Structure 1
Amino acid sequence: MPSPSHHTQDLRIPSLHGRLFTRIWSPDHLSPSFDEVPIVLFHDSLGCVELWREFPAKLAAITGKAVVAYDRLGFGRSDPHPGLLSFGFVGDEAEHDFPAVKDALGIGEFIAFGHSVGGGMATHCAARHRQHCQALITESAQAFVEDRTLAGIREAKRGFQQDGQLERLAKYHGDKARWVLEAWTETWLSPAFADWSLAAGIERLDCPVLAMHGDLDEFGSALHPQRIAQLTDGPSRVLLIGECGHVPHREKADVVLQAVAELLR
């Protein structure tokens, strides 16, 4: 797929504990506008705006909608996080930073799209802001703490002990890289987090849901998208993507884009 034409705008949005770096992609060189309901992206545990790479521009082009992504506090170009993540951090996103972005940009209705732990955050945002959420899209999201999830995190943690690996993370997170890594590994591997479930504290969703998952995802089985799809009273679809790991929007971008476009038609 050729690189689409698009317009971007970068902002720094104040939140309770610091500024959030935010980028808006608008299709066809139009100035950022929310006349069409925007798609809001929620990044993964080691992610940030830059690591979405060319995907948001392609998403804006194929849907004709503005796409918004922001670095959570402590990640990417946002301000440092003031402390440790709470064990309720997945649900907290719907109460604090996402509303700050939503209000600052004047977003009314929105479509939530989250990758990995961002999928859990997108689910909480869809539930907490149900009157404004038109659709929920999750990609490689976790719905509970599975043995495969913990094994994948332990393997990744060992990998980051090799020379140069933390420096690769610092390319995107600067001197926050160590905090970013430990916020992921130490939170998920803590015995206190073992009983976490995405369904806990979420009322039934009433928007359409598309739950995508790679069949080779090293961080979770197909049980995760199935459980997410079960959370809605609206129409839902589970899309298991063949020969695909944990990052479908990079590994199978065309499949993901076509599935999203079909949902939003």
Structure 2
Amino acid sequence: MTTAVSDQDRLIPLPDGSGRLSVKDWTPDASASLPPILLFHDSLGCVDLWRSFPAHLAAATARRVVAYDRLGFGRSDPHPGTLTLGFVAAEARDIVPLLLDHLGIGDFIACGHSVGGGMAVETAARFPSRCRALVTIAAQAFVEDRTLAGIREAKQGFQDPAQLARLARYHGGKARWVADAWTESWLSPAFAGWTLDAALAEVRCPVLALHGDRDEYGSAEHPARIAAGRGTVRLLPDTGHVPHRECEDAVVEAIRDFLKNPLSPPGRGLG
């Protein structure tokens, strides 16, 4: 029997007046009282680009799933400036607390794709008593040559108006800002030393690191570093950088099983 899932959209104003965030949640009709899953999108992503994944994940796990467009992305308001080089950690520090408070979320599961996986790691590190589990999907843990090569190729591709027009389907007039925010942040020489190492040292919850074996933006060293001593790596066969679209069923099944049987620290469960 398929579990019915209802969804809701809302706009959350940021207290500094910089804009509003577009948020959507999916709640199974038979939802148990379990910590919800908070989704963090990738560098070109938004709520709509998760496509069917959040509803599928909500139904499979019997948990509320919450996704939001970062400022400057998707249906959220335009970003007033440029990203700082500390933007990954800043999302966990400045935005996540506002979301949790506004949405009435206590304990939660952090789950992110690509750079959103880095934001999920930073969030787990910042909320060690509330983040009950961490899932990364094709996340980067450091700046790798393969990642930069893929970004350089993508940057060249965005010189084609047709490619930028495809991005505009999801980001509207913010599309050029979105493309530049990704490429210029990662390709900046000042960003070359960025890693998740300090945040990973503070993670206290079980970890599942999912990664495609054909990921064009990062080798298997990334999930290995994320999960080392903390959890499990799952390499997905014949899969590139967007596993939740390329093999959605396998990703949902892996997360569902992980949340049922996590490698919990002593005295900590996921109920």
- The TM-score with structure 1 as length reference comes to 0.94
Tell me the distance in 2 between the aligned counterparts of 1:34 and 1:195. Answer: 42
| Superposed counterparts of 1:1-265, under 5 Å | 5-15=4-14, 16=16, 17-28=18-29, 35-230=33-228, 232=230, 236-265=231-260
Between the two proteins, the alignment pairs up a number of residues equal to 258
Q: Is the 2:38–2:111 contact (alpha carbons within 8 Å) kept by the matching residues of 1?
A: yes
Deviations 1:37-75 (A, max 9, x none): 100000000000000000000000100000000000110
Q: Is the 1:49–1:76 contact (alpha carbons within 8 Å) kept by the matching residues of 2?
A: yes
Tell me the distance in 2 between the aligned counterparts of 1:223 and 1:104. Answer: 36
Give the match for residue 269 of structure 2: none
Structure 1 residue 255: deviation in Å?
1.1
Structure 1 residue 252: deviation in Å?
1.0
Identity of aligned residues (%): 61
Structure 1 residue 159: deviation in Å?
1.5
Distance 1:119 1:42, change over 3 A: same
- The TM-score with structure 2 as length reference comes to 0.92
Tell me the distance in 2 between the aligned counterparts of 1:231 and 1:82. Answer: 40
Structure 1 residue 26: deviation in Å?
0.8
Q: Is the 2:136–2:208 contact (alpha carbons within 8 Å) kept by the matching residues of 1?
A: yes
Distance 1:189 1:104, change over 3 A: same
Tell me the distance in 1 between the aligned counterparts of 2:122 and 2:148. Answer: 22
Q: Is the 1:4–1:58 contact (alpha carbons within 8 Å) kept by the matching residues of 2?
A: no
Tell me the distance in 2 between the aligned counterparts of 1:35 and 1:18. Answer: 32
Q: Is the 2:32–2:62 contact (alpha carbons within 8 Å) kept by the matching residues of 1?
A: no
CA root-mean-square deviation: 1.6
Gap runs ≥5 in structure 2 = 261-271
